[in-house]
A = this chain, B = another copy of it.
Amino acid sequence: MRAVDLIQKKRDGLELSEAEINFLIDGYTAGDIADYQMSAFGMSVFFKGMPGTELAHFTNAMLHSGSVLDLGPMGRRAVDKHSTGGVGDKVSIPLAPAVAACGVIVPMVSGRGLGHTGGTLDKLEAISGFNVSLSIHQFMTQLNQIGVCLTGQTGEVAPADKKLYALRDVTATVDCIPLIASSIMSKKLAEGISGLVLDVKFGSGAILSDIEQATLLAKTMVDIGTRMGKHVVARLTNMDQPLGIMAGNALEIRESLDVLEGRGPADIVELVTEFGAEMLVLSRTCEDRETGRAKISEVLSNGKALAKFRQMIEAQGGDPRIIENRDLLGTAEKQIAFKAHKAGFLQSIDARGVGIAAMLLGAGRQKVGDVIDMTVGVETHVRIGDEITEGQTLFVIHSNGKGEAEAMERIAQSIVIGDVKPAPFALFGARITKNDLN
Contacts and interface: CB of A to CB of B under 8 A. Distances in A.
A140 B386 CA distance: 79
A423 to B, nearest CB: 32
Contacts of A37: 39, 170-171
Nearest to A10: B172
Nearest to A167: B36
Contacts of A171: 4, 7, 36-37, 40
A30 interface: no
Interface stretch (A42-50, A326-334, A348-356): A42-50
A413 interface: no
Q: How large is the interface on A (under 10, 10 to 19, 20 to 34, 35 or more residues)?
A: 20 to 34
Contacts of A173: 40
A337 interface: no
Interface string A20-62: 0000000000000011111110111011000000000000000
A115 B425 CA distance: 63
Contacts of A5: 172
A365 to B, nearest CB: 16
Contacts of A34: 35-36, 170
A71 interface: no
Contacts of A11: 43, 46, 172
A8 interface: yes
A36 to B, nearest CB: 4
Interface string A149-181: 000000000000000000101111100000000
Contacts of A134: none
A44 B39 CA distance: 11
A3 interface: yes
B4 A36 contact: no
A172 B39 contact: no
Contacts of A7: 171-172
A56 to B, nearest CB: 24
Given A35-B34, A36-B35, A40-B40, A170 B4 contact: yes
B46 A172 contact: no
A290 to B, nearest CB: 45
13 contacts: A11-B172, A36-B39, A36-B167, A36-B170, A37-B39, A37-B170, A37-B171, A39-B39, A40-B40, A40-B42, A43-B43, A43-B44, A43-B47
Given A4-B172, A40-B42, 9 more contacts: A3-B170, A4-B170, A5-B172, A11-B43, A11-B172, A34-B35, A36-B36, A37-B171, A43-B47
